[in-house]
Amino acid sequence: MTQGKTKAPPARRPHARCEDCAEIGEFTRLRYFYGQPIGALDLRREQAYHRDKARLHNRLLHGWGIVCGLDVDVVPAKDCDPAVTDPGLTTLVVAPGAAIDCAGDDIVVRRRTPVKLAELLPGPVLEQLRAKPATVYLSVCFHQQPMDPMRPLITGGCEPAPDCEYARIRETFRICASTSRPDPGPDCEPCCGACGSRCLELAAITGFDPGRPVGAEQLRSGGRRTLARHRLAQIVGISWVHGASYPRDDVNAMLNEGFEVRFSRPVQVASLRPGVVDLAGVDAGAGRSAGTYLIAGEFTGLPSSKLTDRFVYRSTTEETMQYGDRLMITVRGDFIVDECCRAIDADHLGGSIPLIAGSKHASAAGSAAPACPPRPSGNGVEGGDFVSWIYVQERGGR
């Protein structure tokens, strides 16, 4: 036998808890044969077998969350509309889309669905919100609706036939609202799947007052869960306006003070290493006269704790930007990992990452409205580069 140190077994990831598999019931199915007596209970069990198999497939192979669509928009009420008796009853519209809830059930919204938020909340909650506006969460839930009532002709036992039974169940959805956020489930996925709330968050409406209309600026989509076995961290806020033009002094001040990035859930501080974030300047000019150069920088003010939900990255050189230059900010999501050692979902799609509330760099010239509503980074897949840029205004403020 070879002497020496015994090789340690590989460390198990904290979310690979296979004891959770005990929560999955055993599957049994009918074995048909001639002369077999079959009743309604047998057929219901056979139907449940196939439904439970499909749910398990969804949960373990695909995960749960929003598959596509289900965006929320505000439709302001018209002052001249005689049907509107309460100006606070702003209509929100949930776009068509599909989702899988944490139990594996499919949720399909087939057409645009108008919603009046105040009508979804009970009276006592509305009174509390009138006294103190707060955040309300809009969610979508799987719902089963009995259909086709009829009277059975015979009964299966000694009891008389019931007056009414439903012949079918329609699988549909409900739109719900609450001041409590739907449970997003465990931070790290166990090997056999796990569940949070059966309802999926669509949007958070901040500062909701039942007596006042809802504005588009109150909608927050950072809590939406895209379809995945594990809820990936996303970039949900930045301290600059993507694609905007700033005065030269403001850009140089931002380089010195730092660029702040916020995440939807904590990431490991140890993964915020040199090379993960790059600042690069692009000289003004055309063709070969437009050179690119890196600007040395560092993370500043990182906490001593293991996890953080934000970072600030600043320049460490005396380099200054010149009129007409462009500053590129790149965050390499493949190398920033959360507490489950999963890379963040960083792709900057559509250029519409929200500005951090209260940012001193909110005002900028030449910042056209993004083509898409504000949304966090990502496409539901680990990793990807977050790429953004700002311009230095030409001399004279153009």
- At residue 370 the predicted structure's pLDDT band, cuts being 50, 70 and 90, is low
pLDDT in tens, 147-157: 998 888 777 66
SS3 content of the chain, % helix, strand, coil (to 5): 15, 35, 50
Q: How far apart are the C-alpha atoms of 258 and 302, rounded to whole Å?
A: 12
Above pLDDT 70, what percent of the chain?
85
pLDDT at res. 24: 79
280-299 average pLDDT score = 82
| pLDDT at residue 109 greater than cutoff 80 | yes
Q: How far apart are the C-alpha atoms of 63 and 382, rounded to whole Å?
A: 14
Q: Is 305 helix (H, G, I), strand (E, B) or coil?
A: coil
Across 19-116, where does the E strand assignment appear?
A: 65-69, 72-75, 91-94, 97-100, 106-109, 113-116
| Burial class of residue 385, CB neighbours in 10 A (0-12, 13-18, 19+) | middle
pLDDT at res. 10: 40
* Per-residue exposure over 158-182, b if at least 16 CB sit within 10 Å of its own CB, e if not: eeeeeeeeeeeeeeebebbbbeeeb
* Token pair recorded at residue 233: 């961290």
279-307 average pLDDT score = 86
* Token pair recorded at residue 112: 């645009």
CA angle 293, 299, 305 (to 5 degrees): 160
Q: How far apart are the C-alpha atoms of 253 and 240, rounded to whole Å?
A: 12
Q: How far apart are the C-alpha atoms of 198 and 59, rounded to whole Å?
A: 12
pLDDT in tens, 260-281: 999 998 999 999 999 999 999 9
Q: How far apart are the C-alpha atoms of 211 and 89, rounded to whole Å?
A: 8
pLDDT at res. 157: 64
pLDDT at res. 286: 62
List, in sequence order, the alpha helices (H) in 67-185.
Answer: 123-131
Q: How far apart are the C-alpha atoms of 398 and 383, rounded to whole Å?
A: 37
- At residue 159 the predicted structure's pLDDT band, cuts being 50, 70 and 90, is low
- At residue 358 the predicted structure's pLDDT band, cuts being 50, 70 and 90, is confident
